[in-house]
Chain A
Amino acid sequence: MKILVCVKQVPDTEEIKVDPVTGSLIREGVPAILNPLDACALEAAVQFKETYGGNVTVISMGPPQAEQALRQCISVGADDAVLITDRAFKDADTLATSYALSMTAKQLAGFDVIFCGKHTLDGETGQVGPQIAEHLNYNQVTSAMDVKLDSGSLLVLRELEEGRQTVAASLPCVITVTKTNYTPRYPSMKSKMAANRKEIKILSASQIEGLDMDRIGMSGSRTKVTKSFVPQAGQAGMIICEETAEQSGRKLAKLLVDAKII
């Protein structure tokens, strides 16, 4: 089984602040972390490899520092890592991102399963995984919480808002992973150090065969951000729960009257 995991390095939103004047995110000094759901996707991939055999490659598109996120992946079970990094990729939207990732996947060739996180901590669109599937003409299953191989095809348990669903999908397939069953493991001290010695393959745009430069980065992006702002936080509501429904009704009516709403 040849497995690919797409991972993104994101700012730790627990530490992030918004510039009150410009409304944009203050990224300086914010620690970069492996997108939490990508850590789950990797765990899913590594468990899959451990059960059915194979090899796990991790890939990220991002700045040179994204190498840290890839080393982290190596320390918890990925076999190889590829970083695609180039100024030309800068300011990509999800379409340009998924295009670049899928072209690289084509070049690396032969992946049976591609795991992605369900969404990122920062962009949070959840689009990149499904788009990769479209670019590569793979099947796709989103929101996976458990993945098994059953006589040559995948059995995936999905977590949906209204319940759970098991679907079968034939290979090759893109799977986006939610947290539930895949708590990332700790690296061991040894694997942590081994990951520091591992060579990470670095590809620039020109090293990706057949890459259409008009479809990557800013020029390949079909969406443009015109403004970003922090929505005003709504006030917390109030729960009225008196001893009887009638008392609750009376209290509600009084509050509404007092507020001159009725």
Chain B
Amino acid sequence: MSMILNQDQKDLVALAKEFMEKEVKPHIYELDEKGEFPLELYKKGFELGFHSMDMEEKYGGVGLDYNTISFVLEELAKVDAGFAVSLTLNGLAFSCIAEYGSEEQKKSVSERMAPGGFMTFALTEADSGSNAGALRCSYTRDGDDYIINGPKTFITNGKYGDIHVVFATANPEAGVRGISAFIVEKERAGIQIGKEENKMGLRLSNTCDLFFDNVRVPAANLIGKEGLGFKLAMSALDKGRIFCAAMATGIAQGAFEDCIEYSKLRKPFGAPIATHQAVQFILADMAIQIEAARTVTHNAAFLAQSGAKYSKEAAIAKTFASDMAMNVTTDAVQIFGGYGYSREYPVEKRMRDAKIFQIFEGTNQIQRQIIANAILR
């Protein structure tokens, strides 16, 4: 990697690499095949702190800056992007509370999450993905409580979530101004876990439907104040996009390293395919794209860390890195030829894993809209 890392960053990247290669990699083929959620492996990951990288130290998290988190996520995703995504969802959900929640909420949620566990960010519904502002999951006030009602779709960690951050509306007519966010602990009565997605990629992660059937939470579980939900979600997603970009870069980097190795070994006409300029140029293009993606990602991370505006840059990083990862992994399959198309080799999996990064946390079309809006404002 042609970036200067400080000693902590180098050590944390090395730790992530060692953990992923020793503990996770040996099981990936089987887990991917079965689409299984490796809870025990995640628990091991909790012990190292991968689930609480952006939680402040005073709340029991690791308290890393965005650049360092991005380096670590790249390394995790290099081995398995699904594993990385499950862990980052905690950060996405917790950041809603960290940014807008009360001190009480930060304390109680972090006390539970810091030792290990999963959080969810429950925004999407069947008919409101890109248009998240049109969500229908509703809430009403009842004395000292709120009552939440309605379905959510495609919720990462849904089945395993200890704490859900749920977005619901008081009045669909009010649009985004009607949306509020709530902390919903898994013990609250009325949470139903629905269908689990059988996904193309990211198969070590859990994605499922949730249904909130008159789920009652105390008023103290409202994050910030009523009507703040949409703003809060968008702000969390801005940050999440930087991490998406870092993970997409990791997928591509993994594919790239596989290609370098393979192209030196494979000799269909006597000479390694790496000696053909046509192949060399593919490898060089991969290097160019990965390097560029990493750079825009870290630029967005740096902006976010310094408190500057970074929505546009985060959208640029997410879009560029995920499009890049799709290109690089597709080319990687090409370099591996028929073996690339075979499930026996890990390259096709990277291609399947890469695809989602163009879709979730705002599709790349929506990202372009955000970028265009920022440019034309």
Report A171-188 CB contacts with B as 1/0, cut-off 8 Å.
000000000000000111
Residues of B within 8 A of A190 (CB): 49, 57, 62
Residues of B within 8 A of A188 (CB): 47-49, 62
Determine the distance from Cα of A196 to Cα of B62 in the docked complex, in whole angstroms. 15
Residues of B in contact (CB 8 Å), total: 17
Residues of B within 8 A of A187 (CB): 15, 48
Closest to B9 in A: A193
Interface residues of A in 47-90 (CB under 8 A from B): none
Residues of A within 8 A of B57 (CB): 190
Report A186-219 CB contacts with B as 1/0, cut-off 8 Å.
1111101100100000000000000000000000
Q: Does B19 contact A (CB under 8 A)?
A: yes
Q: How many A-B residue pairs have CB under 8 A?
A: 34
Residues of A within 8 A of B62 (CB): 188-190
- Chain A interface, >50% SS class: helix
Would you call B15 and A186 a contact (CB within 8 A)? yes
- Chain B interface, >50% SS class: helix
Closest to A187 in B: B15
Closest to B45 in A: A186
Residues of A within 8 A of B44 (CB): 186
Residues of A within 8 A of B15 (CB): 186-187, 189, 192
Closest to B53 in A: A189
A189, A190, A193, A196 pick with most chain B CB within 10 angstroms = A189
Q: Using A189-B12, A189-B64 as known contacts, say yes or no to A196 and B47 having CB atoms under 8 A apart.
A: no
Least Cβ–Cβ distance between B342 and chain A, in angstroms: 30
Determine the distance from Cα of A189 to Cα of B52 in the docked complex, in whole angstroms. 10
Would you call B8 and A193 a contact (CB within 8 A)? yes
Would you call A196 and B11 a contact (CB within 8 A)? yes
Please list 10 pairs of residues, one from A and one from B, whose beta carbons are closer than 8 Å in the complex, sorted by A's number. A187-B15, A187-B48, A188-B47, A188-B48, A189-B15, A189-B48, A189-B62, A192-B11, A192-B12, A192-B15
Interface set of A (CB-CB < 8 Å, partner B): 186-190, 192-193, 196
Closest 10 A-B residue pairs measured CB to CB? A189-B49, A189-B62, A193-B8, A188-B49, A188-B48, A192-B11, A196-B7, A190-B62, A189-B12, A186-B48
